[in-house]
Amino acid sequence: MRILITGGAGFIGSNLVLHWLQHHPQDHVFNLDALTYAGNLLNLKEVEGNSNYHFLHADLRQPDVVKNIFIENKIEGVLHLAAESHVDRSISGPADFIETNILGTFHLLEAARSYWGNSPDPRFHHVSTDEVFGSLGPEGAFHEETPYAPNSPYSASKASSDHLVRAYHHTYGLNVVTTNCSNNYGPFQFPEKLIPLLIHNCLAERSLPVYGDGRNIRDWLYVKDHCRALDLVFHRGQTGECYNIGGSNEWRNLDVVHLICDLLDKELGRSGDDSCRKLITFVKDRPGHDQRYAIDPRKMLRELKWSPELDFQMGLLQTIRWYLNNQAWVEQVTSGSYREYYRQQYNV
């Protein structure tokens, strides 16, 4: 197949591109990415020489460009991951989230509908988040029928794009599936998100910011387990259906911070007064901070026989070791020097 993966230079996207080329070596993978601050082609350096991998520098906010990509590359399937994704950034600057996550998804849907016509075979897989469901109380978990209740500009923009995808299926018959995942972690995550930020700050002996009292709870999912799930849903999911992908792995934010500190102390030989725990700093809570997320993934297990393979402590240890072994990557993405690589290699 000729597969378009949007946002393929980002965290989850680059892991998915690597997964796809490994597990579907006959497919042609077209990576569409606008190369914003979190998009990094160095994540995909190992596949640059693969004749079935193609990078397309483009912005979903340009509808004519998106339509031409379908025509010129004969796209037969889409996995749509491109999005502005950081809650804090959406609070300080919501416009980019509206333009990329809502209008960008609209332009992609229109391009797919125009190029594929009434064919039932090509598939549009929309990748979303558990944040569209809002905040949970102390009990229960989000399931596929949970009503939407987004509480940030980011989650509201993703909820809107989810509804657009659903509407294009029911109105135009587009072959769509939607997945909503819990918090991902693993290699290639930009160090603004909790886990890589904590690792980076521990190594630099900077403060480890914890919002509020640190009791907010998140469900954590290793990114490679997520990629396996996306592969299954794209190939075997039922048209028009939604699937929740979660790690069944709830942790309080403060407990995650403590675990990262303890694992890093062991890896670095720190203890006592040198422990990373001394860097923990409680900061003012973010506006509209959801208290708890938890995904019910039983539909994935029941229908597609998927469940996460890696438990959180082992996945977190692997992630920490990846960041320790890839400090040059961290330095490049935090300094912005990798953009020179783009300019030289891709003339962007």
Distance CA 145, CA 143 (A): 6
How confident is the model at residue 344, as a pLDDT? Answer: 63
Q: What pairs with residue 282 in β-bridges?
A: 210
- Does residue 131 have an active-site annotation? yes
Distance CA 186, CA 11 (A): 8
| Amino acid residing at 132 | V
Judged on CB neighbours under 10 Å (0-12, 13-18, 19+), 337 is exposed
Please check whether residue 114 is in contact with residue 40, taking contact to mean a CB–CB distance below 8 angstroms: no
Buried b (16+ CB within 10 A) or exposed e, 209-246: bbbeebebbbbbbbbbbbbbbbbbbbeebeeeebbbbb
Ordered by start, the domain boundaries in the chain are 2-185+220-249+292-311+336-346
**CATH code assigned to 2-185+220-249+292-311+336-346:** 3.40.50.720
Q: Hey, what are 176's tokens?
A: 């769509």
Buried b (16+ CB within 10 A) or exposed e, 147-177: eeebbbbbbbbbbbbbebbbebbeeeebbbb
- From the list 33, 76, 154, 250, the catalytic residue is 154
- Does residue 185 have an active-site annotation? no
Distance CA 198, CA 207 (A): 9
How confident is the model at residue 335, as a pLDDT? Answer: 79
Interior CA angle at 58 toward 178 and 323, to 5°? Answer: 70
- From the list 76, 131, 225, 231, the catalytic residue is 131
Kindly give, in sequence order, each residue whose CB lies less than 8 Å from that of residue 68, ignoring residues fewer than 6 positions away.
Answer: none
Interior CA angle at 228 toward 227 and 233, to 5°? Answer: 95
Kindly give, in sequence order, each residue whose CB lies less than 8 Å from that of residue 322, ignoring residues fewer than 6 positions away.
Answer: 186, 187
Helices (H), the chain: 11-23, 63-73, 87-92, 95-97, 104-116, 153-172, 194-204, 223-236, 253-268, 298-304, 312-325, 327-335, 338-346
Interior CA angle at 43 toward 222 and 276, to 5°? Answer: 55
How confident is the model at residue 192, as a pLDDT? Answer: 81
How confident is the model at residue 340, as a pLDDT? Answer: 64
Please check whether residue 324 is in contact with residue 274, taking contact to mean a CB–CB distance below 8 angstroms: no
- Does residue 130 have an active-site annotation? yes
Kindly give, in sequence order, each residue whose CB lies less than 8 Å from that of residue 75, ignoring residues fewer than 6 positions away.
Answer: 2, 3, 4, 30, 69, 112, 115, 122
Low-confidence ranges of the chain (pLDDT < 70): 337-348
How confident is the model at residue 341, as a pLDDT? Answer: 61
Kindly give, in sequence order, each residue whose CB lies less than 8 Å from that of residue 45, ignoring residues fewer than 6 positions away.
Answer: none
Put simply, whether the predicted model's pTM sits higher than 0.85 gets the answer yes
| Amino acid residing at 191 | P
Kindly give, in sequence order, each residue whose CB lies less than 8 Å from that of residue 254, ignoring residues fewer than 6 positions away.
Answer: 210, 213, 214, 215
- From the list 33, 84, 130, 162, the catalytic residue is 130
